[in-house]
Structures are given as C-alpha cells and as structure tokens.
Structure 1
C-alpha cells in the first residue's frame, strides 16, 4: 500500500541526528499560525494530540506523524513528502538550532492509489 507520508533521505538523516540528541520523536503538520504550515518536530509526547488530530502514518524510525482532521481534508488527495532545506526552522520545532528546517512537499495520488487508500481507514 502507498504511504500517506514519506521522507527524503536528507530529512531522515536530520531526524536521526535529532533523535540522538532528544530521544524518540513525533511530528505534527502545523495548520498555520505562528510557524505557518510546516511539519513540526517534537520530542515524543511533548505535543498533545487530541480528538481533532489523526495519525497519518509512521516515518522511518517509528516516528508518528499527526495532522489535524481539518488539514487532512485539504491534503487527503496528496502524499506528503517531508523534506529539509537550509534556513531557520520553526521556532517550536527541534531542527531550529541545526540551521535547517523541515518542509512539506506533496504529490497528487494516482487514481489507483486513491482507490487503494479509500478502502483503508485512517
């Protein structure tokens, strides 16, 4: 089955570095406000998820990736690709001091992939 969220190799390498520093990690796709619409990286359990959040998938290293239900409705037709670029990270996200920031890219699912995903439950 196609994954709803994946990473680039460079993002995986940064996640491993952050995991070595901070321990187990988690992500939440920000829907705006202070840090725009960025994937935010936290120590596992530091960001409180609730009934308005869904687990979109697990990134390499068993890192959970959450998104709000409202944000998911906008992006459910796309695969999220977590990448990293040079620059200042979100002020609440762990990568900030590393001179890098996580970035969400996306691609539209094919008709076949959408059918497969529609048959699965989030």
Structure 2
C-alpha cells in the first residue's frame, strides 16, 4: 500500500485549487480545532499561515498543474489531529459562504472535509496500528 495517504481532494476541489493557484500562487490548508470558521479547512497562500510546534502536517494533496502535479500541504492543530488521526480526510468544495480568511471566500463556495475511518491495512501502512 505505497499510495496510502491521510488526505485526498475531490476533482471539483482540485479544479478550484488550480484556479486559486493562478491568482494566489502556491497554496496550503490548515484545519484548526476552533469553532465557526476554524471548523472548516482554511486555504491560504503557502506560508501566509505560519505553522509551528502546535501543528501537525497531515499530508499533501497532489493537484494537477500546467507543468505536472503541484503539492498542497495540509496541516491541522495537534490537539485536533489526536481526534482525527484514525480518519482519512477528503477536501471537497460546495456552494456557500467561504470562511473569512480562506482564499475561496469571495467566490461563493467553501471547502469542507469529508471523512471516513482508515482501514486496518491503511493504519498499518501509516505506522498507526
């Protein structure tokens, strides 16, 4: 299971990321443990949100770019990661009001997380079993 990952992106969300990268350059996601806007995956220009020792790198999304796949890192607060480490997260996009600081906010859409439990085989491959 060499291709096991904790994170994925839907085709619609990947298309939006390509569009957003054209305007903002490289991007990143951060999923905080807060409420309201903090409960949605927030998309920032890469490096605009400063991660630190209280954050966990969850994985990278491979988004098709004009010169091959572009990596979009996904981060989460460590306390929230402890609750979510047994799940696979898929970033999707739906119509609605985006989070205030997330780059998709002006477009009338918002990113959201869809989750499922990781399988036993995935947990073993990720070193979590």
TM-score > 0.5, shorter chain as reference? yes
3-state SS of paired residue (2:21): helix
Residue 23 of structure 2 aligns with which residue? Answer: 21
Give the RMSD, CA atoms, in angstroms: 1.4
3-state SS of paired residue (1:62): strand
Which of 30, 48, 52 lines up with 1:46 in the alignment?
Answer: 48
Runs of 4+ more than 3 Å apart: none
CA distance in 1, matches of 2:111, 2:8: 13
Which of 80, 83, 93 lines up with 1:74 in the alignment?
Answer: 83
Residue 84 of structure 1 aligns with which residue? Answer: 93
- How many residues are matched? 120
Unaligned runs of 5+ in 1: none
CA distance in 1, matches of 2:87, 2:13: 19
Residues 1-122 of structure 1: pairs in structure 2 closer than 5 A: 1=2, 2-60=4-62, 61-118=70-127
The 8 Å contact of residues 31 and 38 in structure 2, kept in 1 or not, is answered as no
CA distance in 2, matches of 1:87, 1:119: 35
3-state SS of paired residue (2:14): helix
CA distance in 1, matches of 2:93, 2:33: 18
CA distance in 2, matches of 1:75, 1:6: 14
The 8 Å contact of residues 39 and 102 in structure 1, kept in 2 or not, is answered as yes
What's the offset of the Cα at 1:37? 1.0
3-state SS of paired residue (2:124): helix
What's the offset of the Cα at 1:38? 0.7
3-state SS of paired residue (2:30): strand
The 8 Å contact of residues 31 and 38 in structure 1, kept in 2 or not, is answered as no
